[in-house]
Every structure is written in C-alpha cells, then in structure tokens.
Amino acid sequence: MISIQGKGVSTGVAVGPLYFYRRAKSEITRAAVADTEAEWARFKAAQEKAIAELNALAEKARAEAGDEAAMLFETHAMMVEDMDYEEAIEAGIKESSLNAEAAVSDAGEMQAAAFAAMDDDYFKARAADVKDISTRLIGILSGAVAGGIDSDVPVVLASDDLAPSETVQLDKSKILGFVTSGGSGSSHTAILARTMGIPAIIGVGDKLKTEYEGREVAIDGGTGTVAVEPDEAVRAQMLAKRAELLKRQALLNELKGKPNETKDGQRIRVYCNIGSPEDVHTVLENDGGGIGLFRSEFLYLECDDYPTEDYQFEAYKKVLSDMGDKEVVIRTLDIGADKQIDYFNLPKEENPALGNRALRICLNRPEIFKTQLRALYRASAYGHLCIMFPMVTSVWEVREAKKLCEVVKKELTAEGIPYSEDVQIGIMIETPAAAVISDRLAKEVDFFSCGTNDLTQYTLACDRQNNDLGRFFNPHHPAVIRLLKMVCDNAHKNGVWVGICGELGADLELTETFLSIGIDELSVSPRSVLPLRQKIRETDVRAVREKCIADLLSDEYRL
C-alpha cells in the first residue's frame, strides 16, 4: 500500500481504479511514414470515430436544448466527410507521406484560410468549424479522449489540475472521485466537485505516479488521504467511513421539508449553487429552497462556440420550470481569470483575475451580453427569475447593465415575446469596492449576493487559485467578516435583501455570525443544505447575537 496525503476539498469516500485524465496535446507531431496505406486506414478509423462522437453529441444537444443546438454537431459530422477536405488529407498522407495528424492539420489550416478569405459571412464563420473538426480528429489520432475519460467502469480521476472547461465536460457518471497534483480549495474545479457531490483531493504533488494507473485507490475527501492498493485494514476503514457518511445522510434526510428556522423563530433561506440544468435534481433531492447562484458561464464553457440565444433560452427555461415557483438567481456570464474560453479570443493578460472579466466583458461586448439577456428574459415567463451581475465595482456599471435589460425588454415587447415583469435585478458583492459603496449600490438593485471566494481574494490580495498561499487565504479574516456586516447593514437600510453565495455560506463555524448580522439567504452546494439546516435549527440567535456582533467588531476578533 502507498499512502499519499493531499488536501481534501470535497467530502466523501471513494474506492475504485485510478485513471489519468487524457488531455489533447496542443502541439502535433510531424513525421514521415513508410506505410502510407496503413496511415490512411488509421485516418479512416479516426474519421469514423469522430462522426460517431459528433452524432452522439448532436443527440445529447437535441435532448437538452433542441434542434438548433444539435445542428452545429450535425454540420460538423458532415464536414468531417467533406470531399475536398478528405482529398487534401489523402494527398498529404499518400503523396507527401505525412503522418495522419500532420495531414489533417495541414488540410484544416488550408480550408480554414480559404473560408476566412470569402466575402460571405456564413462561409467566413465556417473557418472556425473546420479548425474544430481538425482538432477533434487530431485528438482521436493522438489518443486523447473526448471528455477526458475512456473507461467502461467508474474511476477515481487523477490529473495535474483540471480547468473548469475540462471539468464541466466530464462524463460525471464515470467519476467516483478526483485527485489532482495541483489545484486549490477555492478553484472552480473544487467548487464543481462539491456541487456534484464527488469526493475530491487536491495538492498531492508528484507523489501520484502515472504508473499507478489501473490500480485500486481509496480516497477520503474529508481528510485528504489517498491509499494506492490499500491494505485490508485501510480498505475496511474507508468502507466503514463511507457507510457512516451514508448513515449520517439518512439522518439528515429527516430534516427534509422542515423550515430553516432557529430555535427562537428566525428564518433564513437556504438555496443552492449550480453549474448546469442537470444539477437541478440534486437541488430538489436535498430540499434546496431555490437556486441562489446558477453560474451561467458553465454553459459557455461546455460549448465550442458562442451559445445561441435559443440554446441558452432552453437551458434557463429548463432550470426555471423544473424549479417551479421557487426563486432562481441566474448570474450573467462570469468568464475570465481561471474560466477561459478560446472562442472569446481575449488577449492574454498579465493579471487575469484583475483583468477583463465578467461584467466588464459584457459591457465591452454588448452584443454578447444582449444575447444572454434576451434568453434570460424569454425564460423568465417560465418561473421565478432573478438576474445577477458579477464583478461589480461601480454604480455606473450597474446602471449600464440595467439599461441593456430595458433595451432587451423593449425589443421583446415589440416582437410580441412574453416575459415576466417581476424579474429582480441584483449584483454580486465580491470586490472590496462594491462592499464599501454598498450603501450607494443598494439604491440601484433588488438584492445583493456576497461572493466570498472573490471577496476574500481581493480583500486579502491573495490568489484563490494558489494552494501554496495556504493560511494566508483566510475567508474568516476580520476584514472579510466586517465587510459582510457592512454590506448587510447597508442592504437592510435600503430595503434590499442580502445573501452569501461564496463557499463561506456553508461554513458551519460562521452560521451563528451570519444569522446574527441578519443575512437573508445562504446559497450553498446541494449537499450542504441539510447540514446547514441542522445547524440553523440548533441555533438560538437571541442567545448569541450580541456576543457574535461584539466579537466581530472587537479588537481581538480572529487576530
């Protein structure tokens, strides 16, 4: 048995075979081949596999988002077999003795350049499609796997780190747990693991070796322990812990249907954070009272091109109608920093966390923002929608965003498309600037939701992605907690409700503090709803409020 210690970032125990994530190589190998017929056969097999993959993606898109979404993949499937494209590849292999990867790459470049030079906008846009199908073919040829996993049985997935775009595209039914050599507890990959309820361990360094692939591992996402080929005692101990966790879950299940009410009758709303329409069932399963944060950018991360208005509309409509009359807060696009999307073609930045991201991109590229807002307002007719803008620092940003909402509403009215008049508009408080001017911002919106992941990062000047910063990244820092109190006071003075949707919302050590300062809503990963409800129901706010508030304002608070 080999024991490895990392940092547990999503609780739970998993036992299964270890599998290393197959990432597509960004550089292709060029080589001369002797047996060109065999190379051609290798290409034909890859072509067949690409078509099968694209047809499967088209079916999935049709089921989840309708015909229009499926069309992109159907078009790609046809393009893989395009005669000119195929002939160029054949010439590369058979006449120039190129390896298939190089022949596909050259043919793709050539066709993309030809499309890009055309006058017609429709054909110009096909350049990106040709590049896309070439990348897929090269990926298949070089052994990369769509979705990163090619296994018939569920696995414990290992990787150096996983980008959010890679995590969202994983086939979740195949994953028992995550182990990464890098990563950080506040990264979006860790957040996604918690949302999916999958045990995860980060920061194991170089101790997890690729030669362990296929061996049985047992991981404990609570303690951060990884055991490769666990001995009988450790295996039994892990399985007993898993049974214990299931028992605890069964006990918590008794809290379903009960109110989030303290002993002295104070109520707080407990909502959920989700990343995709598919997460809604875990919200309902865990009795979440609503959705306090739908990270809409994950829809964009799953796509190879800008998601259309209809594609987004179907996704938002599904979440809203599945949630019935429960509140659903959908955050507008929050990309940038660790959430990078190639097709946005954003210039490389020295400090992306402080750069062109989230609402800044939306205000600079209103055509993208308007597409999302139109989809959101159209979907508002199907449920109880609240729209939330991320990364706000100034009042003018909120006013400009709200103006675009008005433009969109006017357009829909003119087009006779129904939407709800009761959509609440809110903002995230995740920059110190927004917290400090929350008195002014409160006059512009219906609600605030505090993003404590970024609020901690920006207040403490501490990169949330950097696991080495360890204890310096401290969301319990008095500066963060005092800002939360200030935001809460400013919100309530102005009749605005306030929630917390950062990971801190689920931190039971602070539940009494949040109740004492009067937070109205906590939005947490679905699995955290019932433990939080239990904590709330055990609390008597009258007994702790005065001390909690005096403590957090005192000179001694968490020095």
Question: Contact residues for ligand PEP (CB under 6 A)?
Answer: 191, 293, 295, 334, 430, 451-454, 501-502
Structure tokens at 422: 């009761």
Q: According to the binding rule CB under 5 A, does residue 499 interact with Mg ion?
A: no
- Residue 217 or 293 with smaller CB distance to Mg ion: 293
DSSP lists the bridge partners of residue 381 as none
- Shortest distance, position 467 Cβ to ligand PEP, whole Å: 16
Q: Which does 99 bind (CB under 5 to 8 A by kind): Mg ion, ligand PEP, none?
A: none
Kindly provide the b/e burial profile for residues 317-328, where b requires at least 16 CB atoms within 10 angstroms of the residue's own CB: bbbbebbeebbb
What does each C-alpha distance from 496 to 265, 421, 435, 487 come to in angstroms? 21, 18, 14, 10
3-state DSSP call for residue 46?
Answer: helix
Nearer to ligand PEP, 13 or 333 (CB): 333
Q: What is the 8-class DSSP label of residue 422?
A: T
Residue 503 is a binding residue for Mg ion (CB under 5 A): no
275 near Mg ion, rule: CB under 5 A = no
Q: In whole angstroms, what is the distance from residue 201 CA to residue 183 CA?
A: 9
Task: Give the amino acid at 528.
Answer: S
139 interface partner picked from Mg ion, ligand PEP, none, CB below 5 to 8 A per type? none
| Burial bucket for residue 399 (CB in 10 Å: 0-12, 13-18, 19+) | exposed
Give the count of residues interacting with Mg ion (CB under 5 A).
3
Q: Which does 452 bind (CB under 5 to 8 A by kind): Mg ion, ligand PEP, none?
A: ligand PEP
Q: How far is the CB of 389 from Mg ion (least distance, A)?
A: 11
Nearer to ligand PEP, 65 or 428 (CB): 428
Per-residue contact track with Mg ion, 402 to 441, x per CB under 5 A?
Answer: ----------------------------x-----------
502 touches, from Mg ion, ligand PEP, none (C-beta below 5 to 8 Å by class): ligand PEP
Give dist(CA 358, CA 360) in Å, integer. Answer: 5
- Residues designated as active site: 188, 501
Rank residues 92 and 502 by Cβ distance to ligand PEP and give the closer one. 502
* CB 430, min distance to Mg ion, A: 5
d(CA 101, CA 140): 9
Give the nearest distance from C-beta 283 to Mg ion in angstroms. Answer: 20
**Closest C-alpha to 168, from 38, 305, 302:** 302
Q: Of ligand PEP, Mg ion, none, which one sits near residue 279, judging by CB under 5 to 8 A according to partner kind?
A: none
Residue-wise over 217-245: b if at least 16 C-beta within 10 A, else e?
bbbbbbebbbbbebeeebbebbeebbeeb
**CB-neighbour burial class of residue 144 (10 A; exposed 0-12, middle 13-18, buried 19+):** middle
Q: Is 463 in the site for Mg ion (CB under 5 A)?
A: no
Residue number, 426 or 451, with CB nearest to ligand PEP: 451
CB nearer Mg ion, residue 456 or residue 534: 456
Q: How far is the CB of 160 from ligand PEP (least distance, A)?
A: 21
Q: How far is the CB of 431 from Mg ion (least distance, A)?
A: 9
* Cβ at position 186, least distance to ligand PEP in Å: 7
338 binds Mg ion, rule: CB under 5 A: no
Residue 496's binding partner out of Mg ion, ligand PEP, none, with CB under 5 to 8 Å set by partner kind: none
Q: Does 12 bind Mg ion (CB under 5 A)?
A: no
Q: Which of 39, 132, 444, 454 binds Mg ion (CB under 5 A)?
A: 454
Stretch that binds Mg ion, among 380-388, 394-402, 443-451, 458-466 (CB under 5 A): 443-451
79 within 8 A of 130, measured Cβ to Cβ = yes
Burial of residue 350, with CB atoms counted within 10 A of its CB: 0-12 exposed, 13-18 middle, 19 or more buried: exposed
What are the contacts of 284-288 at 24+ separation with CB within 8 A? 284/322, 284/323, 285/526, 286/256, 286/526, 286/527, 286/529, 286/530, 287/255, 287/256, 287/257, 287/529, 287/530, 287/533, 288/526, 288/529
Which of 79, 191 has the CB closer to ligand PEP? 191
Which of ligand PEP, Mg ion, none binds 130 (CB below 5-8 Å, type-dependent)?
Answer: none
CB burial of residue 377 (10 Å; 0-12, 13-18, 19+): buried
The amino acid sitting at 34 is A
Residues in touch with Mg ion (CB under 5 A): 430, 451, 454
